[in-house]
Amino acid sequence: MHLRQLSKYLKKKRKYFKCIVCAIVLWCTYDYFGIGDYLHASSFKNDFHYPLDVDVRELVNEVLTNQKLTVTPINYYPYSFLSNSGKCSNAEKIDLMIVVKSAMDHFGHRDAIRKTYGNEDVPGRTVKILFFLGVDGKTKSDVQRQIDREMAEFHDIIQMDFIDYYYNNTIKTMMSFRWV
């Protein structure tokens, strides 16, 4: 009698165990193959909204025709350029412009770039390279004096008035776009 009850109990437990295993397999399949992501996805065309949700063609047209913009920018960079290499001031057509974000103290890196892929001596082509830097916040530091000498020698450094450290790379990128 006791054996029969034990057998019934084990059959019942096996049934629960099979249900749990099936549920785990279904959940893993649902998760692994991205079925949930697919079922809960939003339509890019209908549901995506950018903070500046405007017709970009109209804005470009306003800029090209020197009209006052109908929207205010969502990001404004109040920084200015401290130096201008004058490298691109003549009216020649540039075939390739290489823009490099560089840290202030990376003198060796800039020199290596000038000697390799940043070499401007390409027969039949006009290649220009520019390095964009911020400042270190110290007035006339040793690093800044070295940069001033490098600017005088190579004329390929554009310096802007924000503190040059890793977390300001976005500012450096946007300012380089503005300069170009």
Indicate whether this model's pTM tops 0.75: no
* Inside any domain, residue 118: yes
Q: What is the pLDDT of residues 31-45, one digit of tens each?
A: 888 888 888 888 878
| Percentage of the residues of the chain whose pLDDT score is greater than 70 | 97
29 and 108 both lie in a single domain: no
Q: How far apart (Å, rounded) are the C-alpha atoms in residues 92 and 90?
A: 6
Spell out the residues 6+ positions from residue 118 whose beta carbon is closer than 8 angstroms to its own: 98, 100, 129
- pLDDT, residue 75, reads 76
Element (H, E) at 10: helix 2-32
Does residue 49 or residue 81 have the better pLDDT? Answer: 81
Q: What is the pLDDT of residues 49-61, one digit of tens each?
A: 777 778 888 888 9
* Inside any domain, residue 124: yes
- pLDDT, residue 37, reads 84
- Domain limits for position 13: 2-41
87 and 139 both lie in a single domain: yes
165 and 114 both lie in a single domain: yes
- pLDDT, residue 104, reads 94
* Inside any domain, residue 12: yes
96 and 8 both lie in a single domain: no
33 and 119 both lie in a single domain: no
* Inside any domain, residue 48: no
Q: What is the pLDDT of residues 99-123, one digit of tens each?
A: 999 999 999 999 999 999 988 888 9
- pLDDT, residue 1, reads 54
28 and 83 both lie in a single domain: no
- From the CA atom positions of the chain, what is the Rg in Å? 31
* Inside any domain, residue 53: no
- pLDDT, residue 7, reads 72
* Inside any domain, residue 111: yes
Least confident segment among 50-59, 85-94, 155-164: 85-94
Q: What six digits make up the tokens of 59?
A: 């804005």
* Inside any domain, residue 61: no
Does residue 156 or residue 4 have the better pLDDT? Answer: 156
36 and 83 both lie in a single domain: no
Task: Give Dmax over CA atoms of the chain in angstroms.
Answer: 104
* Inside any domain, residue 55: no
86 and 17 both lie in a single domain: no
Mean pLDDT calculated for residue range 158-179? 91
Residue environment code for 97-106, b if the CB has 16+ CB neighbours within 10 A, otherwise e: eeebbbbbee
Give the total number of structural domains in the chain: 2
123 and 173 both lie in a single domain: yes
